[in-house]
Amino acid sequence: MVIEEITGRIARDLEHLKQFTATPGNGCTRLPFTKEARQAVDYLKELMKDSGLEVSEDAAGNVIGVLKGEDPDAPCVMMGSHYDSVYNGGDYDGIAGVICAIEVARLLKEEGITPKRNFVAVGFCDEEGTRFGTGYFGSGAMLGHRDVEYTKKFSDKDGVSIYDAMKEYGLDPEKVGEAAWEEGKIGSFLEAHIEQGPVLDAENTEIGLVDCIVGIQRYMVTVNGRADHAGTTPMDMRKDAVDAATKVISKIADWAREKADGTVATVGYINTVPGGMNIVAEKVEFTVDIRSRNNDNINDIAARIKKALEREVKEFNGSFEIVNKLTITPVELSEEMLDIMENGCKERGYTYKRMLSGAGHDALEIGQVLPTVMLFVPSKEGRSHCPVEFTKYSDFAKAAVIMQSLAKELLLK
Ligand code: HGY
Ligand code: MN
Ligand code: MN
């Protein structure tokens, strides 16, 4: 199969998937357990079936296609990514990695490879954590890291819990534990993904070989003040949650700038309640997303945020809550598999570089416990998590070819 034909197939599939968004014309919004997720999953199932895979959907909402090996009980080679998106995101984040996995299965079959072990293509649900503020729900469930209590603990902006959203979607959240694979059944995990950053595009490099993924901690902070009249309440009588919260928020970026190792910190969401312009806010909610290759940096910034909150709320005898929504440590990826992919790039004359991933991925969750590797393709001007996100289809074809050669080596061992 020549690269142009592979490019054509990938283009056909990704173009078709673009329509499954809740915000047509304004990027991809495909949140877990929604109509758009259902539409995308149904299409992925069709593609997997047409590619001769054994198709299923698990108790967590992941979609799975199996290319049977001689010994189906041997630890499988799994490849995939997520089919959900952020609000108004791009058309390639996650979903392109799912299509690359299906393309690898197609290429293995067309080459007439009879694998010694199963090759499993997977589309994970809710990697982003956008709807419920968490992350890695599908891949976490597959590893047995998500239970019924977890599904009841987190809710979306409308107060719908993961538990209720799963029920509405047609899943039984009481059975989420059934999505877990028995220990030893997954031998390795491969993920192709857009870089979502500027490095490859700026350096005109075709392939990123990811050797490390940053750790992440995510928090939802609520600062409690007192609702008052904005006009009649003297400044020294206020319990002003916005004043306190913004004094803390304004320091977070500088605390990250002081660090090295790709340390970043983001306040992506701020909300005042009740949100009237002539009301001193009763409370302020804001999120914090802290990442670094060095876990000590993440812990240090989280500790400084808590300390600053204590100091600021003490000023007006207020209070705050800080809920941890995600804690995951940095992961070093498989040198052995990176070397195989590096040889694949050399054989095909693709330019490549080893690099850090500042974005979390299902590979971050799975890499905590299993041999894992990631491959990046360039993002135009490094833009992602926005409608202008763009990657050439021919780049995905290169990713599929490199990953297929890696998968083949692992499947014939
Ligand atoms: O947020 C991330 O790093 C990824 O896009 N889920
Ligand atoms: Mn993303
Ligand atoms: Mn992603």
Residue by residue, pLDDT tens for the chain (413 residues) are 789 999 999 999 999 999 999 999 999 999 999 999 999 999 999 999 999 999 999 999 999 999 999 999 999 999 999 999 999 999 999 999 999 999 999 999 999 999 999 999 999 999 999 999 999 999 999 999 999 999 999 999 999 999 999 999 999 999 999 999 999 999 999 999 999 999 999 999 999 999 999 999 999 999 999 999 999 999 999 999 999 999 999 999 999 999 999 999 999 999 999 999 999 999 999 999 999 999 999 999 999 999 999 999 999 999 999 999 999 999 999 999 999 999 999 999 999 999 999 999 999 999 999 999 999 999 999 999 999 999 999 999 999 999 999 999 999 99
| CA 84 to centroid of ligand 2, rounded, Å | 9
Q: From atom 6 of ligand 1, which residue's Cα is the shortest distance away?
A: 128
Q: Return the sign of the alpha-carbon dihedral for residues 34, 36, 40, 42.
A: positive
Q: What is the token pair recorded at 26? A: 């304004």
289 lines ligand 1 (CB under 6 A): no
Helix (H) or strand (E) run with residue 383 in it: none
Coil, helix or strand at residue 151: helix
Beta-sheet strands, E only, within 40-156: 54-57, 63-67, 76-82, 119-124
Asked if 214 and 292 count as a contact pair (C-beta separation under 8 A), the reply is yes
- Cα–Cα distance for residue pair 199/210, rounded to 1 Å: 12
Instruction: Confirm whether pTM is higher than 0.85.
Output: yes
Would the CB of 127 count as within 6 Å of ligand 1?
Answer: yes
Residue 197 contacts residue 382 (beta carbons within 8 Å):
yes
CA of 302 to the centre of ligand 1 (A): 19
Which ligand 1 atom sits nearest the alpha carbon of residue 86?
A: 5
212 within 8 A of 330, measured Cβ to Cβ: yes
Q: State the Rg of the chain over Cα.
A: 22
Q: Max CA-CA distance within the chain?
A: 79
Query: Token pair 């630890």 is at which residue?
Result: 75
Per-residue pLDDT at 1:
78
Peptide bond into 198 cis (omega under 30): no
Q: Please tell me the total number of residues recorded for the chain in this structure.
A: 413
Which mutation among 31, 127, 214 tests ligand 1's pocket best, with the greatest number of atoms within 8 A of CB?
127
Domain at 215-328: CATH code: 3.30.70.360
The two tokens of residue 326 are: 């995600």
User: Does the beta carbon of 191 sit less than 6 angstroms from any atom of ligand 1?
Assistant: no
Q: 385 a known binding residue? A: yes
The pLDDT assigned to 257 comes to 97
Q: pLDDT at position 324, please?
A: 95
Which atom of ligand 1 approaches the CA of 135 most closely? Answer: 6
Nearest to 201 by CA among 393, 377, 400, 3: 377
Give residue limits of the domains in the chain.
Answer: 3-214+330-411, 215-328
Tell me: is residue 16 an annotated ligand-binding position.
no
Q: What is the CATH number of domain 3-214+330-411?
A: 3.40.630.10
- 3-214+330-411 and 215-328 in the same fold: no
Ligand 1 neighbour 367 (Cβ under 6 A): no
DSSP 91-108: SSTTHHHHHHHHHHHHHH
Written as six digits, the tokens of 269 are 């969401």
Q: Which helix (H) or strand (E) holds 207?
A: strand 207-213
